[in-house]
Amino acid sequence: MNDQPKEAGVKERIMNAATRLFYQQGYRATGINQIIEEAQIAKSSLYQHFASKDLLLDEYLLSAKDQWIEDLAAFTANLPEGREKLLAFFDFRRRRLEQHEFKGCTFSRVIYELPNLGQTSADIIRNHKSTLRAFITTQLRAIKDPYPEADLEEMTDLLFNLSEGAVLHSTLFNNSKPLEDAKKTVGKLLKTI
Amino acid sequence: MNDQPKEAGVKERIMNAATRLFYQQGYRATGINQIIEEAQIAKSSLYQHFASKDLLLDEYLLSAKDQWIEDLAAFTANLPEGREKLLAFFDFRRRRLEQHEFKGCTFSRVIYELPNLGQTSADIIRNHKSTLRAFITTQLRAIKDPYPEADLEEMTDLLFNLSEGAVLHSTLFNNSKPLEDAKKTVGKLLKTI
DNA sequence: TAATAAACAGACAGACTTGTCTGTTTGTCG
DNA sequence: CGACAAACAGACAAGTCTGTCTGTTTATTA
C-alpha cells in the first residue's frame, strides 16, 4: 500500500493515488478518505489543491489523457509512419490492458460510470477520443496519399470502432485475444487500400 | 413518476423500476429507497423478493438479456436471413440508443461500472455478448455457405467489434451517426465476401 | 368466520459519504 | 529570530447508504 515516494509533492501524490484508485475501483467506489490514506496526506491538504472530488476527476482525466498520448508517442517513436504505427496502436492498447489487469479503457469507464457526466469531464473524454481518431487518420494518409476523403473517413471510423470494440471485449473476457485478432484483421484491411 | 401499473405484481413492479433506474442512472447511483419509491412498494417487500441489491442486479441482467434478444428477434422477424438481418442489427442498436437517450449498452455499462463485478453477473453479460456474436455468425453463414471457418471467425469478430465500437461512440457523442456509418460500412464489407 | 400469507409503513442500526473547521506543527525565507 | 505559508491530525456536521426489525393491514382460502 505505502508505495508512494515520500519526496513527491503533495499534489503529485494525490494525483498518483487518484489515478490508481479511480481506474482500478472506479470513481464512485473510491472515497476521499481512501485517497488521502494512500497518498499519505491530510484531508485538508487535498481540499487545498482540489476544490471538490468532481474537480479532482477532471484534473485526473486531463492528466491521464496527456499521459496516454505521451505513452503512445513513446511506444511508436521508432516506427515508420503508416502501417507500422497503426499496427502498433493495437499492441499499445493490448499492453495497457495487460498491465492493468484488463480493467478497460480509462475514459470509456468514466463515460459509462457517470451517465450524467458533467460537461467538462465529457468534453475532455471526447477530446481524447478525437485525438486517437486523428492519429489513425494521420497514419492512413501516410500509407496512401492522396486518399479519397470519403474513403479515408470510412476507413478511419472502421479502425477506430474496431479498436474500441476489441478493447471492450478484451476487458469483458479478461483476455488479449480480441485485440490480437483485431490487429491481424487490420493488417489484412490495410492491404486492400 | 407514478407511471407504474398498480395492477402489476410486486416483483414485477420492482423489476420495472430497477430496470429503468439501473440503466438511466447506473447501479451504484441508484438506491434501494429510490427503487421502492418508484415501484410503490414497501422496503420489506423488496427484501422479500430479492435477498440483496447485488442479487437484484443479477436478476435484472437476466431479464434485460432475455428482453434484448426477444426485441431483436421481433425487430428482424420479417427480414430474410443474411445480409438484411445483419444490417438490421445495426438499426436495432441505433434505435435502442435513440429510445434511451444514448445512455449506452446496458451490459457494457455494468461491466465498466463495476470493475470488481461478481462472477455471476459477469457470466450473464459474457453469455449475452456471446449470443450476439452467434447471431452475427448465423447471418454470415446464410450469406455464404460454406464459409471458410477462419474467415468466418474473422468477419464475425470484425462486425462484432465494429458494432460495439459504434455503440460506444454514439453514446459518447450523443449521436446516431457512428452507428449509421457503421451500417453503411458493413454493407460494403458484405459485398467482398 | 378463522387462519394464513403477503404487503404495508416506517423506525432504526451501523456504516459509509463529502466537505468544513479548529488548532498544531513544520519548513522556508528575510 | 520572526513571519508567513503549507501541511498536518482529526473531530465534526449533515447527509447518504443497505439491510433489519416490529407491528399493522389487507387479501385469499379453507
Q: Is A184 on the interface with B (CB under 8 A)?
A: yes
- Closest to B170 (Cα-Cα) out of B81, B92, B57: B92
Does residue B31 lie within 7 Å of nucleic acid chain D, judged by its CB? yes
Regions of chain A where pLDDT drops below 70: 1-7
The number of beta carbons lying within 10 Å of the beta carbon of residue B109 is 21
CA–CA min distance B159, chain A (Å): 8
Q: How far is the CA of B7 from the C1' of D27 (A)?
A: 14
- Closest to B117 (Cα-Cα) out of A93, A97, A102: A102
Does residue B32 lie within 7 Å of nucleic acid chain C, judged by its CB? no
Does residue B114 lie within 7 Å of nucleic acid chain C, judged by its CB? no
Chain B partners of A162 at a C-beta cutoff of 8 Å? 158, 161-162, 165
- Percentage above 70 pLDDT, chain B: 96
Kindly report the pTM of this predicted structure.
0.94
CA–CA min distance B7, chain A (Å): 31
Q: What is the pLDDT of residues B29-73, one digit of tens each?
A: 999 999 999 999 999 999 999 999 999 999 999 999 999 999 999
Burial class (CB in 10 A: 0-12, 13-18, 19+), B165: buried
Q: Is B154 on the interface with A (CB under 8 A)?
A: yes
Q: How far is the CA of B42 from the C1' of D24 (A)?
A: 13
Q: What is the pLDDT of residues A122-137, one digit of tens each?
A: 999 999 999 999 999 9
Task: Check whether the bond before B146 is cis (ω within 30° of 0).
Answer: yes
Cα distance between residue B184 and residue B193, in whole Å: 15
Q: How far is the CA of B119 from the C1' of D16 (A)?
A: 28
Does residue B41 lie within 7 Å of nucleic acid chain C, judged by its CB? yes
Phi, psi of A141 (to 5 degrees): -65, -35
- What DSSP element (H or E) covers B87? helix B83-99
Would you place residue B15 in the very low, low, confident or very high pLDDT band (cuts 50, 70, 90)? very high
What is the reported pLDDT for A7? 52
pLDDT at B6 over 60: no
C-alpha B36: how far from chain center: 24
pLDDT at B125 over 60: yes
Q: How far is the CA of B84 from the C1' of C17 (A)?
A: 51
- To the nearest 10 degrees (0 to 180), the angle between helices A177-191 and A83-99 is 170
C-alpha A3: how far from chain center: 23
Chain B partners of A25 at a C-beta cutoff of 8 Å? 115-116
What is the reported pLDDT for A115? 81
